[in-house]
A and B are shown apart, each in its own frame.
Chain A
Amino acid sequence: MHSRNSNTQSIDWVSIVLYLLLVGFGWVNIYAANTEADSPVFWIANKEYVKQLIWIGFSLLTVGILLLIDSKFYVEFAYPSYILGILLLLAVLIVGVEVNGAKSWFQLGAFRFQPVELAKVATALTLARVLSRFQFSFTSWQDLLLLGSVWLLPAIILVLQNDLGSGLVFMAFLLPFYRQGMSPYVLVLGLLAALIFVLTLLLPNYSILLLMAGTFFAILLFHKYRKETLMALGAAAGVYGLMALLMQVNSGAVNHDLALLSGMGLASLGLGFKALLRRLPTVGIYLLLFWSSVGFAYSADYFYENMLGEYQRSRILVLLNLKNDPQGAGYNVNQSKIAIGSGGFSGKGFLQGTQTKFNFVPEQSTDFIFCTVGEEWGFLGTTSVILLFLFLLMRLTYLAERQHSAFSRIYGYGVAAIFFFHLAVNVGMTIGLAPVIGIPLPFFSYGGSSLWGFSILLFIFLKLDTNRGQVLR
């Protein structure tokens, strides 16, 4: 076991080696995606691999400096950095430039920077600070309000920037929340919401309503409320039948949504009354759950139909396999799967990729860099990358668990969660398992601010880890 007597322990070389391996292999793939067979000149200043090399150098310099700064600074720096981050995000909303439809970049001459990368670091630090407050509780409304605001404010600004992908990254923080004691039912509810959302796309609203009503009655039966269930079922069916008949006679068309809602409304009133009278809290909870699901389903449907852009709608449909459109919205994923699939077991070899090099795969050195890995290095390469990331993630949770300071632990989980989310979504989208939302693969994707941001994120934690014996807060 490590000595806990001295104030500073040695830095975790395992993580640094993993970091260097990932960055190095990432650069090799950017080089492959960006090089041209008929141009033997290496040093061309506007080539992405040259720029990335400069960014790698700059990142190494930065993390070197980060390691020299006292750990306590990061604790104190949390709130100011958060305020700075929010200000930058707001500023970019006003003076930023638009790239690929998202207004999330600062442009200074040839130099472009995405403040969201800093905002992630700041938010991770601040959430760690909030969660590590003395006597923080997930049952305190005040605490939850503070936590929720800190958590969601940057995400909302990002959505306003039309950078949905980066906004979704903040979902990752649910992981440290869970680690810190948030009820797992929040995650279950999240999954339920996702399920209902998918169902609203698949089925007409009234059939989802029917499904939910059926589930609701089934659960009641399961809890042995036989008499109540039958009564409510009868009332609901009666009202539905009556209304359907009236509408049929009146206008010749039946609004099933309205008829069902009315039926369920009457049944719920009865059930609610009975629950109050007989003090049956379970029935009350299920009633609440049922009606919030109904509310969610209708608002999700409204959100999908009226708030999402056409391209976002079709991307969702393609992802869910509801729409086959290889030349349209599915083009990216289709080409990306072709590139990865054509790599075979051991790949076509370094610089031998054809799909990625000749622009078949869009964004081949940024969001779809994993295609180059898949095409040139094959199954061996892709598996190695995933395993390297898994090692890093498990190493980070291991490191986090050995922190004496809650701040350091929570921050460590935040870092791991962000990496995990990026990995899962980025790799997932290239192999058709996740929606195409443009977020980079950490250390791999071309782009200075993301490499720089991920490096800072990681190395602040590695610095905190050197003081793991101390209770920083």
Chain B
Amino acid sequence: MGNSNRAIIINIAFVLIGLIYIVRLFVLQVVDPSYKFYAESNTQRQLTQYPSRGLIYDRNGKLLVANQPVYDLMIVPREVTPFDTLAFSQALGLPHDQVRELFAEVRNNLRSRKISSFKPSVFYKQLSAEQYAVLQEQLYLFKGFFAQRRTVRKYEYPLAAHVFGYVAETNENHLKNDAYYSLGDYTGISGIERTYETFLRGEKGARYILVDVHGREKGPMRGGRLDTAAVAGKDVTLTLDIDLQAYGELLMQNKSGSVVAIEPSTGEILSLVSSPGYDPALLVGRERSRNFPALVTDSLSPLLNRAIMSGYPPGSTFKTVMALIAMQEGVLRSNTTHVCNNGFYARGVHVGCHPHRSPLSLVPSLANSCNAYYCYAFRDVLDNPALGSPKEGLDHWSNYLHNFGFGQRLGSDFFNENPGFVPNSEYFNRLYRGSWGSLTVISLSIGQGELLTTPIQMANMTAAIANRGWYHTPHVVKAIENDTIPSRFKERHNTGIDSIHFEPVIEGMEQAILGEIGGTARLARIPGIDICGKTGTAQNPHGEDHSIFVAFAPKDDPKIAIAVYVENAGFGSSWAAPIASLMIEKYLTENIHPSRHWLEQRMLNANFIDAQQE
């Protein structure tokens, strides 16, 4: 029968199948890498470890912004067993109806497969530590719930909200543009929280766990050897002096407007007040959803950072720069005098002025804020015989303004600076179809007309004057932990005006306050401090004029330059000047001289908001 052959054939069949399987296994296990990849995505789950945001300090090391824990109540629907919902809502501190709605939402999300029955999802966001403390004692009664710790901002002072900005959950744009973010992360939305987000946010850590087929946690992967801890964000020290900031916000209460104080030698912003402001704590965690709409719809726009976003005409404070330009252009000398007959008259153009001695030279013209003097100076700049035309003259003028930081974003730490507006010849060519001259645009000479500047630009101009010709870009960041601040803040910008021309201007600003030859800002006088300032009043077509004052002190080796805007308050001398001088005094001496307490009281009591609304 040849059956022993058949035994061989049978053995061959065994070996053949064995070989086929071994080859197949070789392909599966050794050649084809895709199964390893599938296996990893099957079993590994990466859990994010959230870092706490960097802390924020003031220039003197006082803690301004810290973090506080909040607790997201998480639910794993599958693990929930029947429980007393009334006790649950009491433990949560929520009305029973709201809890019922939350459960209805979970059911809906389960049905629409937005959430998984096996995986944790957020049931109720951001319970405060106090709420959590109450809940925690009873949490064991409610199977399938647990709390996940997150941190949100905690503000040590109810101040400087516009500087800090706020933090909120990332939106689609953040997710799309930055691979760092994933759904549910927080990010700085405005202010320095936004600008220094990459430093403040820290590095997320990861915990790798193994999960089973239902996504249930089964323990750490490889004993947790791959886990990375979250790295807390870098601390940021600001240039703000929080005491000065507090004083500024106090003085500006019941007023709209802003105060920007800068250290001239460094460009460091000592105080940046935008009024009305708000308590930054209003925009933390759960509070934000409640408060944000109210802040947005408020007719006084408390969310608006007026210090960097509001453009006003600079008014008479601009005369300082006007004089400097004219001197640099060689059309004005400190001893040049001009006649003022209650104003400037030329070929049907009239610019009014208030009564004062006449004629005046440069220093008293600044102290008395004579309009006519600067109309002449401006006309001389534009009609300079050394130049071809008034158009060329205007472009010279507008170049100087750009050198002072006007008409452009200064490049401070705030992303949403308003550039303001400085017209040039092209602009007027378009506006007047080419036919215009120095008289057409004469109101620019006294800081009116098309010119628009922001408070921070005015403070920067004052710092440049205090420095006799140069400035550092104003900024609020002083130091970043283990890192350097942006190098642009170290650069010195020159105004293109020789330092020699500043002396008469500064003397005029000093006289404006001393008032020995007549002065517009005598209320700003501080005993023992040599302060230089210039008043301004910005015409406001919508109501009462805005009160403006710029100042720096001490005259030699200036420590502070300041710009104050009080909206709808009238003359600069009455409100902005006292506020600026009180700020300066507070910063330089830490106390207000007893002889000026009445003035401080008057500023604190002043209320231009209610008056405006009546």
Contact A360 B43 (CB under 8 A): yes
Contact B18 A386 (CB under 8 A): yes
Q: Of B20, B21, B40, B211, which is within 8 A of A358 by CB?
A: B211
Closest to B2 in A: A181
Q: Which A326-351 residues have C-beta < 8 A from chain B?
A: 335, 337-345
Q: Nearest 5 A-B pairs (CB), nearest first?
A: A341-B35, A342-B39, A358-B212, A354-B43, A379-B29
Given A37-B219, A358-B212, A433-B21: A379 touches B30 (CB 8 Å cut-off):
yes
Contact A390 B15 (CB under 8 A): yes
Q: Which B461-505 residues have C-beta < 8 A from chain A?
A: none
A338→B32 CA distance, assembly (Å):
11
Given A37-B218, A179-B10, A181-B3: A383 touches B22 (CB 8 Å cut-off):
yes
Contact A340 B7 (CB under 8 A): no
A351 to chain B, nearest CB (A): 12
Is B347 located at the chain interface by the 8 A CB criterion?
Answer: no
Contact B17 A360 (CB under 8 A): no
Contact A337 B28 (CB under 8 A): yes
Is A149 located at the chain interface by the 8 A CB criterion?
Answer: no
Is A238 located at the chain interface by the 8 A CB criterion?
Answer: no
Within 8 Å CB of A424, what residues of B?
17, 21
Contact A382 B25 (CB under 8 A): yes
A residues with CB within 8 A of B? 37-38, 175, 178-181, 335, 337-345, 354-355, 357-360, 374, 378-379, 382-383, 386-387, 389-390, 393-394, 397, 400-401, 413, 416, 420, 424, 427-428, 431, 433
Within 8 Å CB of B40, what residues of A?
342
A393→B18 CA distance, assembly (Å):
11
A382→B18 CA distance, assembly (Å):
11
Is B290 located at the chain interface by the 8 A CB criterion?
Answer: no
Contact A342 B36 (CB under 8 A): yes
Within 8 Å CB of A37, what residues of B?
218-219
Within 8 Å CB of B35, what residues of A?
337-338, 340-342
A337→B25 CA distance, assembly (Å):
10
Is B210 located at the chain interface by the 8 A CB criterion?
Answer: yes
Within 8 Å CB of A338, what residues of B?
35, 38-39, 42
Within 8 Å CB of A387, what residues of B?
18
Q: Is the interface of B mostly helix, strand, loop or mixed?
A: helix
Within 8 Å CB of A413, what residues of B?
10
B residues with CB within 8 A of A? 1, 3-4, 6-7, 10-11, 14-15, 17-18, 20-22, 24-26, 28-30, 32, 34-36, 38-40, 42-44, 210-214, 218-219
A359→B36 CA distance, assembly (Å):
17
Contact B218 A358 (CB under 8 A): yes
A364→B24 CA distance, assembly (Å):
21
Contact A340 B42 (CB under 8 A): no
Within 8 Å CB of B210, what residues of A?
354, 358
A37→B15 CA distance, assembly (Å):
38
A101→B365 CA distance, assembly (Å):
105
Contact A393 B211 (CB under 8 A): no
Contact B14 A431 (CB under 8 A): no
Given A354-B43, A358-B43, A424-B17: A431 touches B212 (CB 8 Å cut-off):
no
Within 8 Å CB of A342, what residues of B?
35-36, 38-40
4 extra interface residue pairs, beta carbon distance < 8 Å, beyond A342-B36, A374-B28: A37-B218, A341-B34, A387-B18, A420-B17
A343→B38 CA distance, assembly (Å):
12
17 A-B pairs within 8 Å (CB atoms) are namely A37-B218, A340-B35, A341-B34, A343-B29, A345-B30, A354-B44, A358-B213, A359-B212, A359-B214, A360-B43, A379-B26, A386-B18, A394-B11, A413-B10, A416-B10, A428-B21, A433-B20
Contact A382 B29 (CB under 8 A): yes
Within 8 Å CB of B21, what residues of A?
386, 424, 427-428, 431, 433
Within 8 Å CB of B34, what residues of A?
341
Contact A431 B28 (CB under 8 A): yes
Contact A38 B28 (CB under 8 A): no
B141 to chain A, nearest CB (A): 25
Within 8 Å CB of B7, what residues of A?
179, 397, 400-401
Within 8 Å CB of A379, what residues of B?
25-26, 29-30
Contact A360 B20 (CB under 8 A): no
A324→B170 CA distance, assembly (Å):
39
